[in-house]
Amino acid sequence: MATKKPWGGRFAQTTDPTAERFSASIHFDRALARHDLRASRAHARMLAAQRLISESDCDAILGGLDALEAEIEAGTFAWDPALEDIHMHIETRLRERIGEPAARLHTGRSRNDLVATDLALYLRETAAALELGLLELRGTLAARAREHIDTVLPGYTHLQRAQPVRLAHHWLAYVEMLGRDGERFAGVRQRVRFSPLGSGALAGTTLPLDREATAHELGFEGPTRNSLDTVAARDAALEFLSAGAIAMVHLSRLAEELVMWSSAEFGFVELSDAYSTGSSLMPQKKNPDIPELVRGKAGRAVGNLVSLLVAVKGLPLTYNRDLQEDKEPVFDTAATLRDSLEVMAGAISTLQVQIDGMRAAAEDPMLLATDLAEALVREGVPFRDAHEVVGRVVGHCVEKDVSLTSLSRGDLVAFHPSFTAGAAELLDLERALEQRSLTGGTARANVLEALDRADAELAARVEAIAAEVAGAKEPR
C-alpha cells in the first residue's frame, strides 16, 4: 500500500512503499541532525536580516529548532521512514510545533545545498575529533617509547631479522606515520572551509540571500564560488574516506605486529588481559583478538573509500540521487577509526614488553653483517666488493654452523686481507646502535631528540585543534 506523496504538489500518486523504503535515508542521516539544525538557525537569522521573513517568524523558527534539538537529545523525537531524510523530518516536525512560520524556513534553499552544508559541518568536526584521537595514540606510543629507549630488538625486512634497532625508534616510526594521517585530516578541514549554503538546487536563487553572513555564522571562511560544483562535489568526503582508509591501514600494520609479537614464536610482548580473549575450547589460549579486529576492520575503511569512488565516478553535473550513498561510508569509517584508535591506545599503554626476549633476538651476530662490510669500506674496499666478501663469510658460518663473532682475524683475512681484527672486536651491538647517528637513525641521542620533538609537536597540535574547534562553535 502506498503511503505518501512525493515532495511538493507536482505528483498525483503516492509513493510505492517499496520505493519509499529503498530511498529512505533517515536510518543513517539522522547523524546529521545537529548540523542540520545549526545550518537552519543560520539560514533563518539571515532570512530575517534580509527581510525575507519577519523577526517574529524567525524567533518562532529558532525556538522551534531549539525544541526539536531537545527532543532529539532526549530520545523522544519520532523518526518516520516515510519522511525520507533528516531535512524533511526537521521541517515537518517544526511545522507541527510552530505552524505556518516553519513553511518559510526553506526560502531560497534546497535540500541539495543543505545536505552539502550539513556534511561539510560534520566532516570539519569529525576530522578534528579523529586527529585528536590520532594525537592520543601518538602520545601513548611516544610515552611507551620513552620507557624503552634502551630496549633493543631486531628490525625486520621481508619478516627476516635485518639489523638491531631500539624499540623506541620502532614505535616512533608509527608516531611519524600517524602524524601524516593527522595532517590528512587537517587537509580535509581545509577543503571544507567554504559554505555551500545558498547554492540552492544547482543555480542559486533569485532571492537576495546573504551567503557571506551564513558562511561566517557557521564558521566558514566564506561561501563556495560555484553553485554547480557545490551541490555536485563529494571530494571532501572522498578525501575524508581516503585519510580514514590510510590511517586504518597504518593501525592494521601496528596491530599485525602486536599479533606476531605476542605469539610464542616471537615472545616480544604480552597483551593485557583487558585486550585479549580466551578460547572456547582450549583453556591455555590467550588470543590477541583486539588487534586482530583492528586489522580486519581496515578492510571496511578501504571498502568505504572504493564504494564512494565508484558511486561518483560517472555522475553528470549536478546533483543526482546516487550522492545519497556518500554518508553511510563516511559515518562507518569515522566510527571504525574512532573505536580502533581508542582500543589501540589502550592495548599499547597496557602491554608488557619482554625486554630480555627482544634483546636475545637482537644479539644474533648475523644482524651485524652489514657492519662487517662497512668495516671493510673504511679500509678502502668498494662497498659492492665488501658486500660480496661478507656474503661469503656468512655462507661459511652457516655451512660450518659457527657464530659470526667466533671468527678470528686470521679467519677473516682468508676472505679478504683488509680485515684489521677479529669479528668479535669489529662487531658490537651497542656500538652498532650508536654509530647510526645520522638524522633518522637509531642512536640513543637521535631517539631522545625525536621523542622531545614529538612531545612538543603533539602538545602544539592539541592546542591548535582546541582553538580551531572553539572558533567554529555555534553562537547562541
Q: Determine if the peptide bond prior to 405 is cis (ω within 30°).
A: no
Distances from the Cα of 10 to the Cα of 4, 14, 73, 110, angstroms: 13, 11, 35, 16
Q: Which residues on adjacent β-strands are paired with residue 160?
A: 157
Q: Which residues on adjacent β-strands are paired with residue 157?
A: 160
Are 151 and 359 within 8 A, CB to CB?
yes
Taking the CA atoms of 100, 105, 110 and 112 in sequence, report the sign of the dihedral they define: negative
Strand, coil or helix: what is 226? coil
d(CA 301, CA 245): 5
> Which single residue is written with the C-alpha cell 604480552?
270
d(CA 417, CA 12): 97
> Which single residue is written with the C-alpha cell 539571515?
46
Q: ∠234-236-239 over CA atoms, to 5°?
A: 115
Residue 350, amino acid: T
CA 163 from centre of chain: 30
Is 279 among the residues known to form the active site? yes
Distances from the Cα of 441 to the Cα of 142, 247, 302, angstroms: 16, 24, 32
CA 159 from centre of chain: 26
Q: Three cell numbers at 117?
A: 552544508
Are 200 and 113 within 8 A, CB to CB?
yes
Given 279, 403, 406, 437, the catalytic residue? 279
Q: Which residues on adjacent β-strands are paired with residue 194?
A: 222
d(CA 142, CA 138): 6
Closest CA to 330 of 110, 33, 31, 21: 31
d(CA 169, CA 367): 17
> Which single residue is written with the C-alpha cell 605476542?
262
Is 148 among the residues known to form the active site? no
Tell me which DSSP letter residue 287 carries: B
Are 125 and 189 within 8 A, CB to CB?
no
Strand, coil or helix: what is 31? helix
d(CA 211, CA 69): 24
Inter-helix orientation angle 235-261/327-350, to 10°: 30
Strand, coil or helix: what is 222? strand
Residues annotated as catalytic (active site), given as ranges: 158, 279
